[in-house]
Amino acid sequence: MMIEFSPVIVHVDMDAFFAAVEVRNNPHLKGKPVIVGGGAGQRGVVSTCSYEARKFGVHSGMSAVKARRLCPQGVFISSGLRGYVYVSARLQQIFEKYTPIVEPFSVDEASMDITGTEKLFGGPIELVEALKQEIRDQLQLSCSVGIAPSKYLAKLASGLNKPDGLTVLDRDEFKRIYYPRPVDALWGVGESTKKVLAGKGIHTVADLASTDSKLLKGILGKNGEGLSVISQGIDRTKAVPYRERPHDKSMSHETTLGKDLQDPTRIKATVLWLADKVARRLRRRGYIGRTISVKIRSHDFQTITRSHTINHPTDRCDVVFQQAMRLIPKEYGMKIPVRLLGVRMSQLIKIRFNDQGDETLNHKTGESVQLELMVNPQEEEIGRLTEAVDAIRDRYGEKSIKLAGTLLS
CA pair distance 258, 339, nearest whole angstrom: 8
Active site residue 109: yes
Q: What are 145's strand-pairing partners?
A: 12, 166
Instruction: Please classify residue 191 by burial: count the beta carbons closer than 10 Å to its beta carbon, then call 0-12 exposed, 13-18 middle and 19+ buried.
Output: exposed
Q: Tell me which amino acid residue 141 is.
A: L
Q: What are 112's strand-pairing partners?
A: 10, 102
Q: CA–CA distance from 183 to each of 75, 102, 170, 171, 225 (Å)?
A: 34, 29, 19, 17, 15
**Of these residues, 22, 52, 103, 109, which one is catalytic?**
109
Q: Please give the backbone phi and psi of residue 148, each rounded to the nearest 5 degrees, phi first.
A: -160, 170
Output the CA torsion sign for 155, 45, 77, 342.
positive
Nearby residues of 358 by Cβ (< 8 Å), 6 or more positions away: 370, 371, 373
Q: What are 254's strand-pairing partners?
A: 342
Q: What are 288's strand-pairing partners?
A: 349
In 3-state terms, the chain is what percent helix, strand and coil (to 5)? 45, 25, 35
Q: Please give the backbone phi and psi of residue 90, each rounded to the nearest 5 degrees, phi first.
A: -65, -40
Active-site amino acid positions: 109
